[in-house]
Structure 1
Amino acid sequence: MPASFSHSTFPCFLDFEASSLSEQSYPVQVAWSDGEGQVECWLIRPADDWRDWCEGAEEIHGITRESIEDEGQDIAWVCRRMNQALAGKVVFTDGVHLDRFWLRRLFVAGNAMPRFRLGDLFKLLEPRLPPPEYRPPDLLRNLIDKAWKLTPGFAHQADTDVKYMLNLWQLVRHGSALSAGADTGPSMSPRLYPPGHGPTGVQAHVRGRDGGY
């Protein structure tokens, strides 16, 4: 049975932006939404031993190393704030294996434990889509494209990506999935890889992990 949400509440969503997709990567920005659909977003000041940086990733999310050093919040403070806001909740993400890796990096550096757990956005959506035998093959791609078109802001900033997930949830929740079969143009993937990176590095490192964070 799919999880039940009242008309006045939303699932919570989360997104990290990171220094790269390598095994040495770390989160540079985090955003999440609460049960009312309100979004909170913070830059994260890196730990002293977080030295990894990828210019390709910077080109995608637009966050510089200098900005997180100058404007980022202390890691321990970010961990406390996330636990205050999200304690006891399942928080959904469109890149759950990557985000679990970065969540663990954050909380280990902050000497804390998350009081919430991450869930897979697409497993949340699946029971609310039409049955596979009645589903256009490009349905999910078209829903993703439509959600991005409804989302203002700079793609691959964490708060924008959380708003995209809220829009995608709303489209499915209100039945837009039933009329989204028509082609809406080129697909806009919610996860883009920096140049020279594919499903390797940290993604390969954490692929298939469903336990822990």
Structure 2
Amino acid sequence: MCGILAVLGCSDDSQAKRVRTQTKKVILRHRGPDWSGIYQNGFNYLAHQRLAIIDPASGDQPLFNEDKSIVVTVNGEIYNHEELRKGLKNHKFHTGSDCDVIAHLYEEHGENFVDMLDGIFSFVLLDTRDNSFMVARDAVGVTSLYIGWGLDGSLWVSSEMKGLHEDCEHFEAFPPGHLYSSKSGGGFKQWYNPPWFNESVPSTPYEPLAIRSAFEDVRKLFFFL
């Protein structure tokens, strides 16, 4: 459990804004007492409170690609990071963190890489080459994430609602299995689309006796095993 906080596209790149972001980040310190990091690029701020689990020696965040043009702050764990690294042989990793693959996957695949991740995660990624950003949350929302809109037109993202409420005129829970991209003009896009997913309401009639009979058959099966 780490804490992430991002302020994106704000109208102020002053030291006062950086201090404000730093102050709000402290609210999330209980989520990650092992490291505190903040990154600023123009009108964008990415902050992180780390609970060190994988690669505690060098996995401090925010994390970067090779030339530091792509920056990411992550809460969660990527279970298949070792497998993903094998497909990124042309990339140089600065840490052994499981989350280090995210910036490099974005370099290779753009925003379509999210469904390659097996794990629980919330992250904010900033591409300084064109000043674009994306935010994503895991398929079922194991990691907490909230999004808000500031009075100055900025976008705020935080692991906890209390990181937003004083600075945003509107905020809400970030929907699981979705991403938010500045490249597509904002708005949520569902990235989690498994083949079996169907929002239609089942129309098969409810037959309680058939359900009971099925459960009884299963019970008898386990009784003889």
| Alignment TM-score, normalising by the size of structure 1 | 0.24
Structure ID, larger Rg:
2
Bigger relative contact order, structure 1 or 2, given CA contacts below 8 A and separation 6+? 1
| Alignment TM-score, normalising by the size of structure 2 | 0.23
Compare the two structures and name the one with the higher strand fraction: 2
